[in-house]
Amino acid sequence: MRILGLSAFYHDSAAALIEDGQVVAAAQEERFTRKKHDSNFPIHALEYCLDAAATGLDGVDYVAFYDKPFLKFERLLETYLAFAPRGFASFRMAMPVWLREKLFQKDLLGKKLTAMAPDFDCKSKLLFSEHHLSHAASAFFPSPFEEAVVLTMDGVGEWTTTSVAIGKGRDLKVVKEIHFPHSLGLLYSAITYYTGFRVNSGEYKVMGLAPYGEPKYTQALLDNVIDLKPDGSFRLDQSYFDYCTGLRMTSEKFNRLFGRPARQPDKDLLDQFHMDMAASVQKVTEEAMLRLTRSLAGEYGIPNLCLAGGVALNCVGNGHVLRDGAFKNLWIQPAAGDAGGALGAALAACHLHLHLDRPRPVTPGKDAMRGSYLGPAFAQDDIERRLTKAGARFQVLDEARVIDSVAGALADGKAVGWMQGRMEFGPRALGGRSILGDPRSPTMQKTLNLKVKYRESFRPFAPSVRREDVADWFELDADSPYMLLVDGVKESKRREMTAEEQALFGIDKLNVPRSEIPAVTHVDYSARIQTVHADTHPRYHALLSRFKDLTGCPVLVNTSFNVRGEPIVCTPEDAFHCFMGTELDVLAVGDCLLLKDEQDPSLKTDYKSAFELD
């Protein structure tokens, strides 16, 4: 039985295909269309998933969509009604979009699907799952647990913003929900807006900014803005927000409470206030996550926790939940955002709607996401053909020599583009489409930021480390294959900063070597860790092993293979264009090795202005 899951029309459209309950393929539409957070019908991702299963749409038994548009419309109408006559401006913006398109999503989906397969019967084969049930299903069914508490938190789905479900075997029941407008995700988005970043994509910047600040507004937030109960449930005082009725996230009252208006990114510089605000909302979020998980652990007595929803991408909060130990085991869906809803909808249809008489196989300690390497891969002859057509000059080496050459280049301080095997599903590059560097180099941070990524980030890069070496370099000793846990760099690897260095700010502070691996160490000595496992990505694991042989260090800088504002590369051509448009020194695509010095200089392009700033 094949079930196709789709998420679309809001942000991060994606498709996922499961076959007899097993995940076969999943990808985000943005990777194919090269338009970041593409929200259009995921036709390319869908076609890829069908290709991966060597079938057509007529070979698919059901299509499951990841949320319910009518329920969302109901929430919209009731919200406008509750606040009327305030909210007219928002109503005027929303209604045309809804009345022209969004209310008719079922028809639209039907048209798109029947255009691909005229015999596809939408009436019986097109299913809809609730938004948070999709998240919960994406977190539980691929997890390595037979039984788990499933916590989902995001901005808002239809009505739900936070849900608790209990998963057992192939059953999953939602037991508690917190409804709109009370939302941890929207609180975080409100501060994202207030500190001058883009809602729905700038949240990770707020998280990266937090270590520069003091959480001095935490109490003000808790006393006024969010009523956080001992069990982690919460209510937001809507007088501080404007998202129900206005076109802004925060209100004048919020501005008065903190003494200044929202930062305008094109006019106002980031200063200490914004960092303190970021640290404060981060602290509130962590506190809410900890209270929720502690109370759920006590209430249900189940040792396993699964997380999904946009808030589960807050890897600093996740690290606190893991270290807190209320739950013995933690598993987080790598595509925790709305893209993962496509997979969740398919899994929910399979296990909860169709009740197929088949057990859900669980391997303790091993999840069913295949390392999240669920996107397209390219055969060696196809890579060579595509690169040749693009005008690339390359050598074809055997696997051992590719690894040897790349490890040597990395040890020499070179920046390497690394495209190997299947593309990752989810927002993180995990060694399938990555830019790699030497984390020991005190200049690597700067080099990658200025010459490759074209940004001056206050966030450090993330480290990839062999699973067997993680405890030697970091305070974490658990699997973190999806880069969703933050923990400290090992004390013995740290270097104390002097008082003068402590007083530095932003990129200057970040450029002070704070450990043996400065390129991946944040100003609070934390790191967003990816553990690399030989069974899910043997080639990347072998590269880390070879780098360790050469340098004694089993850690590499791993950042996504793209420039600022660009979706992560998908095809060999994308990789080659990014390679030629940046100052990457080496590119390894499959068994092909490309050196920048050997390329035709006329193929260099002005790449950095090709994508809109995220």
Partner 1 sequence: MSFLSELWEFLKERKKFWLLPIIVMMVLFGGLLVLSQGSAVAPFIYTIF
Q: Which residues are catalytic?
A: 11
Q: 21-51: b or e for each residue (b if 16 or more CB lie within 10 Å)?
A: bebbbbbbbbbbbbebbbbebbbbbbbbbbe
- CA dist 20 and 71 (Å) reads 30
| CB of 207 or CB of 519, closer to partner 1 | 207
Torsion from C-alpha of 355, 3, 14, 7, nearest 10 degrees? -50
DSSP-based helix, strand, coil % in the chain, nearest 5:
40, 20, 40
Residues 6+ apart with CB under 8 A from 10: 39, 67, 338
Which two tokens mark 183? 């939302």
To the nearest whole angstrom, how small is the minimum distance from the Cβ of residue 226 to partner 1?
A: 17
Q: With beta carbons less than 8 A apart as the criterion, state whether 68 and 128 touch.
A: yes
To the nearest whole angstrom, how small is the minimum distance from the Cβ of residue 287 to partner 1?
A: 23
Which two tokens mark 333? 């869906």
Which two tokens mark 124? 């019986």
To the nearest whole angstrom, how small is the minimum distance from the Cβ of residue 104 to partner 1?
A: 6
| CB of 236 or CB of 462, closer to partner 1 | 236
Q: Which of 184, 211, 189, 194 is nearest to 290 (CA)?
A: 184
Strand residues in 493-534 grouped as ranges (E): 526-532
- CA dist 41 and 117 (Å) reads 16
Sequence letter at residue 541: H
Torsion from C-alpha of 565, 594, 419, 389, nearest 10 degrees? 80
- CA dist 487 and 69 (Å) reads 39
To the nearest whole angstrom, how small is the minimum distance from the Cβ of residue 340 to partner 1?
A: 18
- CA dist 194 and 265 (Å) reads 10
Q: What residue ranges bind partner 1 (CB under 8 A)?
A: 10-11, 70-71, 74, 76-81, 90-104, 106-107, 155-156, 180-181, 186, 189, 199-200, 243-244, 247, 249
Residues 6+ apart with CB under 8 A from 428: 334, 372, 462, 482, 483, 484, 530, 560
- CA dist 611 and 565 (Å) reads 5
| CB of 107 or CB of 271, closer to partner 1 | 107
| CB of 66 or CB of 394, closer to partner 1 | 66
Instruction: Give backbone dihedrals phi and psi of 506, rounded to 5 degrees, phi first.
Output: 60, -135
Q: Which of 337, 553, 356, 543 is nearest to 441 (CA)?
A: 553
Q: What letter does residue 425 receive in the DSSP assignment?
A: S
| CB of 91 or CB of 576, closer to partner 1 | 91
Which two tokens mark 208? 């990266």
To the nearest whole angstrom, how small is the minimum distance from the Cβ of residue 133 to partner 1?
A: 16
Alpha carbon distances (Å) from 37 to 11, 159, 238? 6, 23, 28
| CB of 102 or CB of 548, closer to partner 1 | 102
| CB of 244 or CB of 610, closer to partner 1 | 244
To the nearest whole angstrom, how small is the minimum distance from the Cβ of residue 13 to partner 1?
A: 13
| CB of 352 or CB of 512, closer to partner 1 | 352
To the nearest whole angstrom, how small is the minimum distance from the Cβ of residue 169 to partner 1?
A: 28
To the nearest whole angstrom, how small is the minimum distance from the Cβ of residue 515 to partner 1?
A: 37
| CB of 92 or CB of 267, closer to partner 1 | 92
Sequence letter at residue 20: D
To the nearest whole angstrom, how small is the minimum distance from the Cβ of residue 125 to partner 1?
A: 15
SS3 603: helix
To the nearest whole angstrom, how small is the minimum distance from the Cβ of residue 14 to partner 1?
A: 17
| CB of 185 or CB of 431, closer to partner 1 | 185
How many other C-beta atoms lie within 10 A of the C-beta of residue 244? 16
- CA dist 451 and 150 (Å) reads 42
